[in-house]
Amino acid sequence: MVEILKSFEQTAVWFRPIVLVLPGLGATASGLFIWLGGLGFRRLLLAVLGGVIATLIVLAIMGPNPAAMVLTGLLGAFIAVLFRRFFAATLLSAQGALVTFLVVGWPYLVPPEGSLTGRLASAPDKRVLTTAESLHVVRTAAHDAVEVARQTGRQLAASRWAIITAVAFTLLMTGLLFRQFGGAMSCALLGSALVFAGLVLLLIFKGSAPVSRMASQPMLFGGAFLGMMVFGTAEQWIVCRRIDKHDEAQASSGKKSKSQKR
Instruction: Write out the chain's pLDDT in tens, 262 residues.
Output: 667 777 777 777 788 888 888 988 999 998 898 888 887 788 888 888 888 888 878 877 776 777 888 888 888 889 888 888 888 888 889 998 998 998 888 777 776 655 555 555 555 455 677 778 778 888 887 877 888 888 888 888 888 899 999 999 999 998 888 888 888 888 889 889 999 999 988 888 888 888 888 888 888 888 888 899 899 888 888 876 665 555 555 555 554 555 555 5
**Distance, CA of 29 to CA of 21 (rounded, Å):** 12
**How many CB atoms sit inside 10 A of residue 161's CB?**
14
Confirm if 5 and 209 have CB atoms less than 8 A apart: no
Confidence at residue 124, expressed as pLDDT on a 0 to 100 scale: 45
Burial class (CB in 10 A: 0-12, 13-18, 19+), 216: exposed
Grouping H, G, I as helix, E, B as strand and the rest as coil, residue 232 is helix
**Distance, CA of 209 to CA of 17 (rounded, Å):** 16
Confidence at residue 46, expressed as pLDDT on a 0 to 100 scale: 85
* Entry field: residues in the chain: 262
Is pTM, for the whole model, over 0.85?
A: no
What is the largest distance, in Å, between two alpha-carbon atoms of the chain? 76
Confirm if 204 and 23 have CB atoms less than 8 A apart: no
**Distance, CA of 120 to CA of 137 (rounded, Å):** 8
Q: Cα–Cα distances in Å, from 110 out to 14, 113, 137, 146, 154?
A: 25, 9, 19, 12, 13
At residue 112, what are phi and psi to the nearest 5 degrees? -65, 155
**Distance, CA of 134 to CA of 128 (rounded, Å):** 9
Confidence at residue 163, expressed as pLDDT on a 0 to 100 scale: 92
